[in-house]
Every structure is written in C-alpha cells, then in structure tokens.
Amino acid sequence: MPGSFGESVAGLLGLVIPDLALPAPPCILHEDEHLLVVNKPPGWNTHAPSPYAGEGIYEWLRNREPRWATLAILHRLDKETSGLLVFGKTALANHSLTEQFTRREVRKRYILETDCAVVGDNFTVRTPIRRAGARYQAAVGAADAESAETRFRVLLRKSESTLLEAEPITGRTHQIRVHAAERGFPILGDSLYGGTPSIRVRLHAAELRFTHPREKHEAVFQVDVDFGEPTGAGLRRALIDLRETDSFRWVHGAADNAPGCYIDRFNSYALVQSEERVPVARSMPPGTRGWYVKQLERRMQERRPVELSPRHAGGEIASEIFVVRENGVQFELSFQEGYSVGLFLDQRDNRRRLLTGHVGGGFPLWDSEIASREILNCFAYTCGFSVCGARGGARTTSLDLSRKYLDWGHRNFLRNGIDPQGHEFIHGDAFDWLHRFSRKGRKFGVVVLDPPTFSRSKEYGVFRAESDYGILVRSALSVLSSGGVLLSSTNAARVSADEFLRTLRDAIASTGRRIRKELYIPQPPDFPVHRDEPAHLKTVWMRID
C-alpha cells in the first residue's frame, strides 16, 4: 500500500520493490489455468535436441516464468515448421490432451507452399513411413514402418507456386513433408525432401481444434503466416516485445545464413560486425535510422580503443551516449568507447533472471534461508547485472578494475530511478577484494562471475578464463552464503561446455561444499546455435550449500 513501512525502508536503502511480472513474449497467443498456446516461429526447436544446443521454445518458456515451470509437451513441430503449439499447465490438461491426441480427436490444419505441379484439388496420401538416416521415407510394405495418412486440398494456384491445406490424420514425424514429396510436390525450402531452396521451409501449423480439458467446449486456435518473412526475422519477432526491449541480435552468423557476419540492433541503430572488411549488404533491423560497422578482432590488446570503435557507415549518426531498453530497464551505450559498446546482448536472459528473481523451473533466485538479499557482481563492467538485481529488490556491490565503467554503471542506476547511495561500487581487483571480504566474514546471497577471457591486474597478474576459472570459483565461494547462488559465465572459445561444468564442479567439491541445484543456460534464442557455429556462451546457475 502507498506509504507502507516496506516502501519507506526500500527508499532509504536505495532499493526498489519490484513488479516481477514481465509482459508475455509475442509468441504467446493464449493462456488460461490449464493451457498455454504459442505461435512457434520457424528456426526454433520445440525442445532442445541436446544439453548445449540452445534452448527450445519449451525450455525457454519453462525457465522464463514461475507459472510455466511445469509446462508439459503435448505435441511437437519440426524446427523449421512454424505455427501452433499447445502446452499443458496442469495434470488435468496433460491427461485430457494426451488422450485426445492418442485417439486422433485433435484436428490439425497446416498450410504449405510448393513450386511444383500439383495434380488434383482434393486427395489423400496413405503410405507407411519409417526413418532413413536424417530423414524419413515412404515405405510401402515395410514391416517396421508406421502407417500414415494426410489429406490435402489446394487453396490457391498462383503462376509460380501453389498453396495447399494439409490435414494429418495420423501424427508421424515429418509426415506432411514426406507425403508432399511422395506425391511429387516437395515443400518450398524443404531441401531435405527435394524442395527448391527458399528463405524458409514453407510449412505452417495454422489451426488446432480440441476439447478444452476443463470447460469441455471446442477450443479453436488459428494463426496466419507470411511465407515471405525470412526465418531469422520471424524468430526475433516471436521473442522480442519492442515495447520492452529495443536491443537484440538481428543476424547471428551461420545460423542466419550469414557466416562470419553479426548484426545487433541497439535502439534505432544497427551494429554490423564481421571478420572481413566488407560493405553492408544485408537488410537492417526494422526501425534502423543509422548503422555502424566493426571488424571482429582476435588480438584486441594490440589495438588502440579508437581503432576498435565502430565506425559510422550510413544513415543517422548516434549521439555520443544514447539509451537502450531491455525488459523495461534502461542502459547507456556508446559507439565511441572502444570495442565494447556498454552492454553484452547475449546476457539479456541472465539479467532478466536477476530482475525477476526466477532462475528457471523450480529454481527461485532467493532461498528462504538467505536472510539478506545482497548480490556481489565481480567484473561488473557497466553494472548491467547489478542494475537488474537492484531493480529486483536486492542490495548490490559492483566490483571492477575500471573506474570509467563503474561511473558508467553509476549512471545506469540513475537512469532507472535507483539511488546509487544504497549500493556499493568498488574499484579494484576481483581476487583481492574477494580475499578482503572473506577475511571480514562478509557474505552474499548471489555472486556473479562473468570475467573477460583475458585480463591483467597489478594485484593478481594475468587471468585466463581457460586456466584460472577454478581458482576464481574457489575464491568466490568464500563469500557465498550457504544456500546462495553462484552465477558463472564464460565465452572462452577454447573451453567446451563439458570442460566448464567440470571445472566448476571440481572447484566446488575441493572446498567441501555441495551443489544443491544446477541449471546450465546457453545463449538466448536470438543467438541461435548452429552446427557450423556452436554456442559461444556458457552459463551455469548453481545453488550451493
């Protein structure tokens, strides 16, 4: 209530009592007590194919909101297929929808496009299907093949392509794709089954009909598709609510068919990064007023900041300092401060976890036994983690070797209406200060470790993430409360996810402490993982007794 004691204390301490609810992402079409219905974009798996391959839409949703922590997968769509997915939120919904899918009572209608001739207007394809390596194939008479049936109806014949409706009566993997190819009209973009290359696989789950598990009425969900929209654009549109977040990755290398090229949107400016000195030839993010380019460097220590800074390449010139928005939080950025502009976009979802207090399904940030909500942010840079932690109601200590970046972080606090006087900003070496805090018996409920891959200080000397991360973890554990959370992150290219996890676990075991809860988090979905470009960011959240 206004003027309450809690608000008065929070004001004196410079803390913010947060509204933890963030708007639902644009891909959410419907939610009630029992169901969550989403419009899955193309290029996103229903669920993660492996632990380090990036979150599927299922994992991303479960780890986003506490009320979605128990989501159940009731059916799946292929990675390159867009459209309607329904997830169960309750045991009643899971049981009811599973029964309906099993009894083939759920009606599914897909839209597809082909550039091949289609004979007939209404027809049914019935052929058994079995797996054959990376694909599936029609297998008439094969004892190990499963029966499959798909009804097709021509919707529109155009000069260069045909739109069809497909209704799968059975639910086999790749069924519509196999049956379309078997009938002689492979789907546009579906190269696996002989389709002509296109900007996406032109297959879309347009309608779902089933009996609502509680209300017992027919639930009907429909969603249109624009097959002319590239896969990458559809993915970002499903993820990003531009009212809350105006900065994200627009093109991510090989995953977006642009090997060696990366484009970030920062408010109304685009930053193009490439290993080659090439002109900007790709479409800019929507709303771009000006764009900058930066050559990716492998040996940054040998270059001056002015040489590493992005250079203006077209459109409007950005102010020396401009403001971006992420999950409703504001940050100052600059294209004139060297290689880094002030915010690492691949940490957006991790900053959100500090903002909302929800790490993942069944993993709250704060344990009930932690009396003091204090966050230590080592290697704080411009204090992005600290700002979100403070907005989430915590008291923060930001530690960095650079006074300039700490001053930048101080301004970020002010930008968000947070009194910096209620928080600490310490200029110094992380190892030195961890030792000082330990000697004084100071404890924190959360410790954030996101060090640079390489750094040098007078106190510690040279730090290399690939060889020294375990030492850093042991130092951090000396100030982490029992039941506290350790956030460890690295983008060291030479360290695999398995090696990173092993380093963390060995370091923790060597101190005699125990990991109670662990969640590995890859980079966010606008940084999609590709076989030619594995995940660069490795992040682990651990609750440690």
Q: How far apart are CA 157 and CA 360, in angstroms?
A: 47
- The residue segments making up the domain with residue 534 are 326-544
Instruction: Provide the 10 A C-beta neighbour count for residue 81.
Output: 27
Residues 55 and 175 in one domain: yes
User: What pLDDT is recorded for position 134?
Assistant: 87
- Burial of 173-205, coded b for 16+ CB within 10 Å and e otherwise, reads ebbbbbbbbbbebbbbbbebbebeebbbbbbbb
From 231, 249, 280, the end of a domain falls on 231
Residues 199 and 149 in one domain: yes
Residues 342 and 311 in one domain: no
Instruction: Provide the 10 A C-beta neighbour count for residue 526.
Output: 25
Backbone angles phi, psi at 406, to 5 degrees: -65, -40
Residues 351 and 286 in one domain: no
Taken as a whole, the chain contains a residue count of: 545
Residue 135 lies in a domain: yes
What SS3 state is found at 203? strand
Residue 147 lies in a domain: yes
CA atoms 380, 383, 388, 390: torsion sign:
positive
User: What pLDDT is recorded for position 20?
Assistant: 56
Contact 472, 455 (CB under 8 A): no
Q: Along the 545 residues of the chain, how does pLDDT read in single tens digits?
A: 333 223 323 333 333 334 457 899 999 999 999 999 999 999 999 999 988 889 999 999 999 999 999 999 999 999 999 999 999 999 999 999 999 999 999 999 999 999 999 999 999 999 999 998 889 999 877 767 789 999 999 999 999 999 999 999 999 999 999 999 999 999 999 999 999 999 999 999 999 999 999 999 999 999 999 999 999 999 999 999 999 999 999 999 999 999 989 999 999 999 999 876 554 556 889 889 999 998 876 555 555 556 678 999 999 999 999 999 999 999 999 999 887 899 999 999 999 999 999 999 999 999 887 878 999 999 999 999 999 999 999 999 999 999 999 999 999 999 999 999 999 999 999 999 999 999 999 999 999 999 998 877 777 778 888 889 999 999 999 999 999 999 999 999 899 999 999 999 999 999 999 999 999 998 999 999 998 989 999 999 999 99
Residue 16 lies in a domain: no
Residues 254 and 299 in one domain: yes
Token pair recorded at residue 85: 């997915």
Residues 262 and 163 in one domain: no
Q: How far apart are CA 205 and CA 315, in angstroms?
A: 39
Residues 224 and 271 in one domain: no
Structural domains counted in the chain: 3
Can you give the CATH number for the domain in which 155 is found?
3.30.2350.10
Alpha helices in 266-344 (DSSP H): 305-308
Residues 206 and 264 in one domain: no
Backbone angles phi, psi at 22, to 5 degrees: -100, 150
Amino acid identity of 157?
R
Residue 21 lies in a domain: no
Contact 346, 527 (CB under 8 A): yes
Q: Which residue has the tokens 């990366």?
A: 262
Can you give the CATH number for the domain in which 381 is found?
3.40.50.150
Contact 188, 196 (CB under 8 A): yes
Across 147-246, the runs of DSSP E, i.e. the strands, are 149-157, 162-168, 203-211, 218-222
The alpha carbon of 228 is separated from its chain's Cα centroid by a whole number of angstroms, namely 24
User: What pLDDT is recorded for position 142?
Assistant: 74
Q: How far apart are CA 514 and CA 510, in angstroms?
A: 10
Contact 23, 325 (CB under 8 A): no
Residue 17 lies in a domain: no
Q: Which long-range contacts (C-beta less than 8 Å, at least 24 apart) are formed by 279-286?
A: 280/313, 280/314, 282/251, 282/258, 284/250, 285/236, 285/250
Residues 178 and 56 in one domain: yes
Residue 1 lies in a domain: no
Q: How far apart are CA 400 and CA 414, in angstroms?
A: 19
Residue 213 lies in a domain: yes
From 231, 259, 275, the end of a domain falls on 231
Residues 315 and 415 in one domain: no
User: What pLDDT is recorded for position 303?
Assistant: 58
Catalytic: which of 19, 32, 78, 190?
A: 78
Digit-coded pLDDT (tens) for 419-450: 999 999 999 999 999 999 999 999 999 999 99
Residue 2 lies in a domain: no
From 300, 324, 348, the end of a domain falls on 324
Residues 405 and 513 in one domain: yes
Q: How far apart are CA 304 and CA 332, in angstroms?
A: 22
Contact 399, 375 (CB under 8 A): no
238: burial class by Cβ within 10 Å (0-12, 13-18, 19+)?
buried
User: What pLDDT is recorded for position 53?
Assistant: 87
Digit-coded pLDDT (tens) for 474-519: 999 999 999 999 999 999 989 999 999 999 999 999 999 999 999 9
Can you give the CATH number for the domain in which 249 is found?
3.30.750.80
User: What pLDDT is recorded for position 120?
Assistant: 96
Residues 399 and 498 in one domain: yes
78 is catalytic: yes
Q: Which long-range contacts (C-beta less than 8 Å, at least 24 apart) are formed by 47-52?
A: 47/73, 47/76, 51/497, 51/520, 52/497, 52/520, 52/522, 52/529, 52/534, 52/535, 52/538
